[in-house]
Amino acid sequence: MNKPLSPLETAPEELAQDPDAAARAWLAALERRNLIDGALIEAPAGMEVTEPARMTPLGQAAASGPQEVDAAVQAAARAQAQWAATPARARGKLVAEAGRRLALQAEPIARLLARETGKALRTECRGELAVAADLLEFYGGLGSELKGETIPFDPKTLSVTTLEPLGVVAAILPWNVPLVLMTLKIAPALVAGNTVVVKAAEEAPFATLAAAAILDQVLPRGVVNVVVGDGLECGAPLTNHPKVAKITFTGSEEVGETVYGAGADRIIPVSLELGGKSPMIVCADADLDKTVTGAIGGMRFTRQGQSCTAASRIYVHRTLYDAFLAQLSARLEELVIGDPLDEATDVGTIVSATQKATVDRYVALAEATPGATVLKIGKLPTQGVAPDLFMQPTLLLNLPETSPCVQEEIFGPVCVIQAWDDYDTVIEAANATRYGLAATIWTRDIGLALDASRRVNAGYVQVNQNLTIQPNLSYGGFGRSGLGKEASLEAMVAHFTRNKTIVLAGM
């Protein structure tokens, strides 16, 4: 049974007049649906999605299984040849147009995202929609850059390389920033001539489906498909499907290992963005005000720390340590924790009870560590919301470097802060985890900045800033943080094309 995309038929000015009503219309159109072959198809089974700020049912998502996955992959496979034959610049123009249309629907979809993830509308969800739309426009402009080379092999031959699409790409998303991570994956895949099947996160599928439906309105049917379901019944059939030619995954290390194994079994390319325990090194000459601001943004406190690039280990030179801690605590105290849809709110909720229990376990471990100090800062909301999944920004002090709280990704608003004296020792500490995703250095000394940037083991290093993913800046990590890069032209070519050599000789 198909359901009409009624929100897509609403004029932008009407959406602006009542974005809450538009968000409800999106939800009604998307409940228990997958996007397959240009239509919203009702799934035979559903699963409840909880609104974390209220701990009440938000709606029923599709609970897809192998049959729905196969239908989506078959649709993508049917559409791929014609899409690949479309000139690259034409593909890019369509993807860019989808970005512009997504921007027009940004407010209601941001509200839907806030309700399903618990992230604050003002500080997080609106920005995520803006970045997602920007990524579509950015990659849309790169169609003309899909170029091969001429090779000086033999003057009597014409030797060239060409870039070809891979085929059907499976894109598996997490729940923390689903729209940014979806567009990071599918925009380059589409411009390169691939078709895609997205597995949305079961905790937060509706905004993903809405954004994909906007793309589907612009692109040929079957080029973009979305299935919703859990890892066992939906994710595994997708990664193991014989017509999937490439897997791109963002999520946990454990699931990443399984996904990598599925790709290895069929010898297809896999890119992984798995996690991090990113260090922030504050040197003695750092600007204190800018550094504290960078710590709050870099730790993604307004996202409840639910970010793989979160600066969750902050090493502060001992001469600045007390002042840094005092100023950071005062600034965190000012953050408003509350209803994600309230314009006054800075910080929303943890996404789910399961994730909250994981974060609580690490905090309890720190509290039980001899000599450690746990600071919980800020006021929790008392009215209008359910208290279950709200959490204060939490600072862990005086922990040994061997503590799991220092070594493992917590994925919550929990930050370890350590004092340091010796430069070589702090570089060693910064590198002493299994991760290598991101790092920041804070100093006025350009020589020190260059040396630390070279020595720190991370794929994305910033000095005196702590930005999130940005279009045109290659992003990705080392070690257990994953394989491959995203967000750049080079990433599109490396991950979503294959290189063919052609040698032409006369008779």
Which residues are catalytically annotated?
273, 308
In 283-346, the DSSP E strands lie at 313-317
* Token pair in block for residue 169: 């790409």
* Token pair in block for residue 464: 């005196």
* Contacts for 139 with CB less than 8 Å, ≥ 6 apart: 92, 95, 96, 183, 187, 188, 190, 191, 471, 492
Distance CA 194, CA 223 (A): 8
- Cα dihedral 209/261/481/92 (nearest 10): -40
Distance CA 391, CA 381 (A): 10
Is 373 strand, coil or helix?
Answer: strand
* Token pair in block for residue 144: 């003309």
Is 340 strand, coil or helix?
Answer: coil
Distance CA 149, CA 375 (A): 57
Exposed e or buried b for every residue in 429-467, given b needs 16+ CB within 10 A? Answer: bbbebebbbbbbbbbeeeebbeebeeebbbbbbbbeebe
Phi, psi of 292 (to 5 degrees): -65, -45
* Contacts for 63 with CB less than 8 Å, ≥ 6 apart: 43, 45, 46, 47, 228, 229, 230, 233, 234
Work out the burial of residue 406: count CB atoms within 10 Å of its CB; fewer than 13 is exposed, 13-18 middle, 19 or more buried.
buried
